[in-house]
């Protein structure tokens, strides 16, 4: 519930900050807040399709992945686009418990979010939700290999737009 409240709050901040007129961008680099200390690089392949590559440190381990996203404008709110897509990620961390001191998981994710660009600043902000199905991990369940669903993945991302205005 706390994650949902954070995402909704971030959505309102993204939707209502800034001045009128969107600043489209080709590429941007920044940080994802919600995964740990994670860097994000987003680049558009054309006017609608983008790739978001991310990686960094979380919970004594690492996280890395990529999403392919399709963007469409939100006609009722200038500067705002929504996006949907999918991708994969790998995550490791260290619990420090005996028997399960290290853990990894490989996941396949869907992603849905909002992407906002500012007119007067070379800044982009987005908020997303990335429900993930874990297809492989290091837990040892004898005779059982079940995929697990993770609904709590998502982030608020702030990026610096590289190369100035326009695509």
**What's residue 112's pLDDT?**
98
Torsion, CA 43, CA 81, CA 63, CA 30, rounded to 10 = 60
- pLDDT tens-digit readout, 126-135: 999 999 999 9
| Residue with the larger pLDDT of the pair 110 and 8 | 110
**Whole-prediction pTM:** 0.78
pLDDT at 69 over 80: yes
User: Which of 29-38, 43-52, 140-149, 152-161 has the least mean pLDDT?
Assistant: 140-149
Task: Give per-residue pLDDT as tens, 10-29.
Answer: 444 434 333 333 447 899 99
User: In sequence order, what E strands does the chain have?
Assistant: 27-33, 37-44, 49-58, 61-73, 80-97, 100-117, 123-129, 132-137, 148-150, 154-162
* Structure token pair of residue 97: 């418990």
Q: How confident is the model at residue 58 (pLDDT cuts 50, 70, 90)?
A: confident
């Amino acid at each position: 519930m706390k994650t949902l409240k954070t995402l909704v709050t971030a959505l309102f901040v993204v939707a209502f900050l800034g001045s009128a007129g969107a600043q489209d961008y080709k590429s941007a680099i920044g940080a994802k807040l919600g995964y740990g200390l994670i860097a994000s690089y987003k680049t558009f392949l054309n006017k609608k399709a983008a790739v978001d590559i991310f990686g960094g440190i979380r919970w004594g381990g690492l996280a890395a992945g990529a999403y392919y996203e399709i963007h469409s404008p939100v006609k009722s709110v200038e500067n705002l686009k929504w996006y949907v897509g999918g991708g994969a990620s790998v995550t490791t961390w260290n619990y420090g418990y005996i028997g399960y001191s290290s853990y990894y998981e490989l996941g396949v994710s869907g992603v849905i979010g909002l992407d906002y660009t500012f007119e007067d600043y070379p800044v982009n902000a987005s908020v997303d939700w990335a429900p993930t199905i874990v297809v492989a991990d290091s837990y040892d369940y004898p005779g059982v290999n079940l995929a697990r669903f993770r609904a709590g993945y998502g982030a608020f991302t702030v990026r610096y737009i590289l190369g100035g205005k326009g695509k």
